[in-house]
Structure 1
C-alpha cells in the first residue's frame, strides 16, 4: 500500500523492486491472548491505527508507532514484528549490484542519483 502523498520516485522504486511486507502484529496479539484494545491501552495508539496495522490497511508506518508497539510487547528485534521480503529476482540483482559497489554506489545507483536529481529540480 502506498500513501497518497508518496512522491513518484518512491512509487517507481517500490514498483521496480517487487516485495512483500508482512506485519505480524495480529498473530503476536493472538498468541499472547491480547486484544487490539489491550494494545491501545498500553500504547495510546488509536484502536483504528492498530486495526489498520493488523489488517495491513495502514499505508505508512512511523517509527514512533513501531517503537511504542515494540515497547508495549517487549519486542527488541523489529523482525519479530515486521518482515519485508523481496522477490528472488530482486535479491539476485541486489547481490550482483553489491559486487560492483565503490564508495557505497554502483554504476546503476549513480545513474539513479543523477536521474532523480534532475527530476527533483524540475518539481
Structure 2
C-alpha cells in the first residue's frame, strides 16, 4: 500500500484545474490518497507486467500506481479495467482516501446531520457561496 499526500496531487494538477476545484480539494490537503494495487498484486500472485497486459495499460503506469508516484492520473475506463482484471467490486479496493481523524469525524457528523435534517452544513454553505463568487470572477 502506497500513500500520496493530497497536497502533492493538487500541486501536480493545479495547472489543469480551475481555482475553485483546487481550493475545494485543498480542504483535504492533509489527507492521503492510498494506492492498494501492490497488495492486490501480491494477494493474486501476479506481476505488474501481468496486470499491464490484462488491462492494456502501460507497465510504467502500473509501476507508478504501485509506487504511489505523484502525478499519475487514471480515467474511469482505466479504473474499470483494473477492477475487472483484479476482480474487485469497489473502487476503494484499488484506491482510497485516508482522512485525518478530526476531518473524518467532522465529515461523518455533518453528513449524518445533513441526511437527518436535509439542511446543508453551514460550513459547506459558506464554501458553496465563496466558490460561486470565485467562479464568477474567473
Per the normalisation by structure 2, the TM-score is 0.76
Question: SS of 1:38's equivalent?
Answer: helix
> Residues 19 and 85 of structure 1 are in contact (CA less than 8 Å); yes or no, is this contact kept in structure 2?
yes
Question: SS of 1:84's equivalent?
Answer: strand
> Residues 25 and 81 of structure 1 are in contact (CA less than 8 Å); yes or no, is this contact kept in structure 2?
yes
Q: How many residues align?
A: 123
Any gaps of 5 or more consecutive residues in structure 1? Answer: none
Q: Residue 11 in 1 paired to residue 26 in 2?
A: no
- Pick from 36, 47, 51 the counterpart of residue 48 of structure 2: 36
Any gaps of 5 or more consecutive residues in structure 2? Answer: 1-8
Question: SS of 1:6's equivalent?
Answer: coil
Aligned equivalent of 2:100: 87
Q: Residue 64 in 1 paired to residue 77 in 2?
A: yes
Runs of 4+ with deviation above 3 angstroms: none
Aligned equivalent of 2:110: 97
- Pick from 104, 110, 114 the counterpart of residue 125 of structure 2: 110
Structure number with higher relative contact order (C-alpha < 8 Å, ≥ 6 residues apart): 1
- Pick from 13, 35, 39 the counterpart of residue 27 of structure 1: 39
Q: CA RMSD in A?
A: 2.0
Aligned equivalent of 2:64: 52
Which structure has greater helix proportion?
Answer: 2
Following TM superposition, by how much is the alpha carbon of 1:104 offset from its aligned partner in structure 2, in angstroms?
5.5
